[in-house]
Amino acid sequence: MVARVIPVERFDLVIFGASGDLARRKILPGLYRRWKEGQIPEGARIIGAARSDMTDAEFRTQVSDALKEFLEPAALVPEVVSGFLDILAYVRIDAKGEAGWEALAAIMRKDVVRAFYLSVAPALFGDIAQRLHQRGIADRASRIVVEKPFGKDLKTARALNAALAEYFNEDQIYRIDHYLGKETVQNLMAVRFANILFEPLWNAQFVDHVQITVAETVGVGGRGEYYDNSGAMRDMVQNHLMQLLCLIAMEPPHCFEPDAMRDEKLKVIRALDPLKPGEFVRGQYRGKGGDDYLTEAGNPDSRTESFIAMKLHVSNWRWKGTPFYLRTGKRMKSRVSEIAVTFKEPPHSIFGESNQWRENVLVIRLQPDEGMDLRVMIKEPGPGGMRLKDVALDMSFAEALGNDLDIPDAYERLIMDVIRGNQTLFMRGDEVEAAWAWVDPIIDGWEMRGDQPEAYEPGSTGPEGALMLMHKDGRRWREIR
């Protein structure tokens, strides 16, 4: 069966911060890949806007270099690249001043979708929104896209929401959390709500606990200064991990529409119990030479966590008594993002004591090797009585759906959704604020107490304390291989 791809209207997409890292690494290569797939319609235009003085031709050369740097050589077909470069233009603009706005207003077309991607520091969101509005560049149908960090606490997030709300309605604002654009994250919705199998078991009566792991091998590298003011809680938990938690824990929305989905996610965040000391462990990688958090962060006294593990309670009818364990860290043993739902024991074993029961676990692998695996008990083949064994019903999407499966990057999907006007995979303002409202007191608490993160070896599975967090509940983390 050929998949139905929803067509995209003609558009003018303006990327503010077009020569920045995110635009070069993700946004422009992502747009190129959609262009190559024929998803970008004739007559669409991508307009780079940034502070530096550049001609259209110079901008095209810069983008061409970025494509070479960030895409596989096989993806770069010369005629396709040159067609893509032809739809690019550039405007030098001063986000806080007057330069460039008139020129931008002059080239924007009236009869196409207008989208503005703010790949710039959040401090500039308000200035840009204001100028887009005052110069008549944005109208009621325009869309504005913003990136994280969306604030560093509730107060700053509220200020950003207010700055945008002055000129744009909520249905025009697209707050990106790129985790929501990942293929398997959406598959989570399909697994839960397109199958009858799991949903009846998806509650505290049958689920023992849920684990969410996002482990990275990279350290903070060149982002030391940003990261040291942020830490794993703000950088990963407040957004990516909480979004995953919401998708796992939410009630079935009545349809797959933006507000139906976002209403249900919001209820999960609001149902979270405050986190108490003893329910989380913070860590910092401490190694030799440059492989050390303090060196990379350029702050010998830093108390910022590069790892955090926590035990959460969702206090509602469905989840009362089922803990959710979350962990994320940098410089860990391997790059693994997965969600594991561990089910409870059957109420009675007919096979006797000698057969050790192992839990049924549903694992949803986000990366690498996107897929799912379900651990079930079977009889070990052969004579000698009834011996049970747990095996994996393992499905790698690449194997199940064909080895040439080319899964789009999260950014590709999200940018196309902006053009289509579909906000389902974007965070609503109240969701972001609710997440900060939960996170803030936890951070305030450890800052007030002056908590020191626990050291862990670079390349390990995190600090000892994280293991203890599970052990004291008689559980263990899934292995990071």
* Of residues 19 and 239, the one with the C-beta less far from ligand BG6: 239
Look at residues 240, 214, 234 and name the one whose alpha carbon lies nearest to residue 328. Answer: 214
CB atoms within 10 A of CB 425: 23
CB of 456 to ligand BG6, least distance (A): 17
- Give the torsion sign (CA, 106, 107, 113, 114): negative
Task: Examine the residue annotation and report whether 209 is marked as an active-site residue of this protein.
Answer: no
CB of 148 to ligand BG6, least distance (A): 6
Amino acid at 255: C
Whether 135 and 105 have beta carbons less than 8 Å apart is answered as yes
Look at residues 307, 314, 176, 287 and name the one whose alpha carbon lies nearest to residue 231. Answer: 307
* CA pair distance 83, 455, nearest whole angstrom: 51
* CA pair distance 61, 355, nearest whole angstrom: 66
Measured in residues, the chain has a length of 481
* Of residues 82 and 334, the one with the C-beta less far from ligand BG6: 334
Give me the torsion for CA of 455, 331, 227, 453, rounded to 10°. Answer: -10
Return the DSSP state at 137.
Answer: -
* Of residues 150 and 167, the one with the C-beta less far from ligand BG6: 150
Q: Which two tokens stand for residue 207?
A: 């689920």
CB of 417 to ligand BG6, least distance (A): 17
* CA pair distance 138, 385, nearest whole angstrom: 73
Amino acid at 332: M
* Of residues 161 and 243, the one with the C-beta less far from ligand BG6: 243
The 3-state DSSP class for residue 150 equals: coil
Q: Which two tokens stand for residue 335?
A: 């790059």
* Of residues 138 and 336, the one with the C-beta less far from ligand BG6: 336
* Of residues 51 and 148, the one with the C-beta less far from ligand BG6: 148
Residues 6+ apart with CB under 8 A from 216: 328, 329, 330, 331, 332, 335
* Of residues 235 and 296, the one with the C-beta less far from ligand BG6: 235
DSSP 258-272: HHHHHHHHHHHHHTB
* CA pair distance 118, 124, nearest whole angstrom: 9
CB of 379 to ligand BG6, least distance (A): 39
Give me the torsion for CA of 92, 129, 163, 238, rounded to 10°. Answer: -70
* Of residues 216 and 433, the one with the C-beta less far from ligand BG6: 216
CB of 324 to ligand BG6, least distance (A): 19
CB of 178 to ligand BG6, least distance (A): 6
Q: Which residues of 301-324 are buried (b: 16+ CB within 10 A; e: fewer)?
A: ebebbbbbbbbbbbebebbeebbb
CB of 232 to ligand BG6, least distance (A): 8
**CA 193 distance to own-chain centroid:** 21
Indicate the pairing of strand 11-16 with strand 113-118. Answer: parallel
The active-site residue, picked from 240, 254, 313, 471, is 240
CB of 185 to ligand BG6, least distance (A): 10
Give me the torsion for CA of 308, 311, 312, 315, rounded to 10°. Answer: -170
- Sites of contact with ligand BG6 (CB under 6 A): 148, 178, 216, 235, 337
Q: Which residue is nearest to ligand BG6 (CB)?
A: 235
Q: Which two tokens stand for residue 336?
A: 């693994």
Q: Which residues of 274-296 are buried (b: 16+ CB within 10 A; e: fewer)?
A: ebeeebbbbbbbbbeeeebbbbb
* Of residues 149 and 465, the one with the C-beta less far from ligand BG6: 149
CB of 358 to ligand BG6, least distance (A): 29
Please give the positions annotated as active site.
Answer: 240
